[in-house]
Structure 1
């Protein structure tokens, strides 16, 4: 999937296109119903069911919203988050459950919410909350990665270290396995597939040709603006 945004020299000059690549046809298809009232944050989408989900901002109130794209029907949908005063929000697929991880203004604990029924705001329910990994502010935004030991424990990371949180005992095991990562580290859930990507020379040349066309288009756009 590819989102193309073209910004002119003036704020009113703006163009956006959303395209999907088909492995069957080996071609890009333009999707016309991309909503214009949202601001996309250039984050990786979270796959749940048949849809990719992104955390976006709405215009002009700048509130959080989930944008979903169904890869089967090729249609967009919007999902409302729980009504909390959030400082940080991140979407995750936790053990096959679509979850929103939230750090709110009400508590230093990170809350993990599950959407029980697809695209129904009233179905959000809190699964558990995690205490801060550091004892004093500013508190880290801890993200759950995966369940351990039949769901009794969950593996967490806070951009620098790995932790294990025992949900039943409500105990945080610090720095699991002695691991340490740079602050740019992130964790992603991947899906296994028997469909391979085509990295043949012809595909590579086609990509270079497409990139050249894009650069020529941008160059002409700036020349017209000047």
Structure 2
């Protein structure tokens, strides 16, 4: 029986994943290289059988790829270059309050970003991979009761509201609270669900539970996607974007 797999994230062509039975892996799907990450001594905080506090990104200051995870009391960072884990000092306030991120962390500007629903208030927390410190994005965040996902659109942080697939909120200027901008999705249909945020202001949408659409949020144009041997569209859920590269997961370096 194959192990269930949870995709943590991808960066520079490296895909980081967690298998329920066999642990963490960093892989390059283009070169077919793969590296198993040693298990940390962590009492994981699980959500649907997987630790819900995870993130994978690139630390440009030391040319290294890092995996971040946590339990209720501490955060831990794995370095691909040194093949070792370390405990991080300090916790974000939302984590101290017992809040749980709604999705895996998003890498941007050398940091991993999580979105917390902290006592009914939506908070974005960033963890800088270089100095290994936390900081919280300034309020206000667009008013919405629930968040479906935090992602990237056109190189900017993007929030998708739960059960409202007809709009996205994009932070046009990084770290500026007043920079949130609503992007309306203009497609004639009854129901929309976001599947993936891509580069060049494009998103993949599932509409009316039966069709896939590639939508350009800048030009407000779209086209239907027809993929051979693709799984049942109705069962598709949110996934991220993957870019091919020749980076080796065994060396832990971009160079």
Smaller-chain TM-score bracket: 0.5 to 0.7
Greater per-residue strand proportion: 2
> Equivalences for 1:1-226 in 2 at 5 Å?
4-5=43-44, 15-35=72-92, 36-41=96-101, 43-58=103-118, 61-79=119-137, 80=139, 82-103=141-162, 110-126=166-182, 128-131=183-186, 134-135=189-190, 139-147=191-199, 154-158=202-206, 161-165=211-215, 167=217, 170=220, 172-173=222-223, 175-177=224-226, 180-181=232-233, 183-190=235-242, 192=245, 194-197=247-250
Bigger radius of gyration, 1 or 2? 1
How many residues of Structure 1 are paired with residues of Structure 2 in the alignment?
A: 178
Contact 1:94 1:144 in 2 (8 A): no
Q: Residue 194 of structure 2 contacts residue 204 of structure 2 at CA under 8 Å; is this kept in 1?
A: yes
Moved over 6 A (4+): none
Kept after mapping to 1: 8 A contact 2:76/2:86: yes
Shift of 1:62: 2.7
State the superposition RMSD in angstroms: 3.5
Gaps of 5+ in 1: 8-13, 199-226
CA distance in 1 between counterparts of 2:81 and 2:132 reads: 15
Q: 1:183, CA displacement in angstroms?
A: 2.1
TM-score by length of 2: 0.56
- Name the CA distance, whole Å, in 1 between partners of 2:219 and 2:82: 52
Distance in 1 (CA, whole Å) between partners of 2:187 and 2:124 is 25
